Amino acid sequence: MPELPEVETIVQALRSCLIGLVPIKVICHKEKILRTPDLLPKALGYPIKDISRKGKLILLWTPPYVWLIHLKMSGQLWWQPQHKPLPPHTHLIVSFAETDKQLRYADLRQFGYWQIVPEGKLSQVPFLQKLGPDALSVTPKLLQDRLRKRKTAIKSVLLNQECLAGLGNIYSDEALWLAQIHPLIPASTLSSTQIERLAWAIKKALIRGIKLGGTSIRDYLHPDGRKGLYQNYRLVYRREGLSCLRCGMPIKRIKVAGRSSYFCPMCQKV
């Protein structure tokens, strides 16, 4: 699933090409992809004023409406001329006034969705109500408040979007390695020093991911089809059996909350 750096990279790319354009037509081939088809006719014809991100959610602002896009497991956004063949598994196409380019949404697993919400009702969207603070804005105090009563493994807590929004399997592992914290340590037992180190590590891992354009291991691509570069510079994720970049010990893999978690048994002791 695209995580915060991948979604942020997409948002930055879309800002450069969509701001000011007016959506005039939407074709949706899968009903479940567009959750609010009744609002679609009303939402067309307004220029895109801004594009932002909340956790892993993309927001297209066309006042008085907001378009929410969640890529989930395998969603992809393509910015392409209409004469170009559609990418495989394209389920939704947005056409704009005064340009022959289209915003195309492809999704192999079809878990992603689009939703249109009146701007005044955005705060009432259940998904947004449950979402925790953005992981990119984490501070030691904020993190301490979020972890204080959570007795489950720190890796599980970092994956919980109600705790921090935007982290996923890749950058959680990277942050824990940077902070030298074992993924199974109960979150509530972290010392103030560990929490301070982890807050720094989360931001460092995410900023590093954004600078490298995200991680293209499976489905993630930039809207123009380019791959991200982070997979070439991973610190610990999917490096099982390879030497730790810090101490040389072979990296190990365990399951945490049903997800593969990679760590160094020397640097990240329980």
Q: Could you report how far apart the first and last alpha carbons of the chain are, in Å?
A: 28
CA distance 144 to 177: 19
Q: Which residues have a catalytic role annotated?
A: 2-3, 56, 259
Q: How far apart are CA 189 and CA 179, in angstroms?
A: 15
Cβ-defined contacts of 38-46 (< 8 Å, 24+) = 39/65, 39/116, 39/117, 39/118, 40/116, 43/67, 43/116, 46/22
Burial of 253 from C-beta contacts in 10 A (0-12 / 13-18 / 19+) = middle
Helix, strand or coil for residue 133?
Answer: coil
d(CA 260, CA 238): 9
Q: Are 16 and 96 in contact (CB under 8 A)?
A: no
Calpha distance 85→146 (Å, rounded) = 46
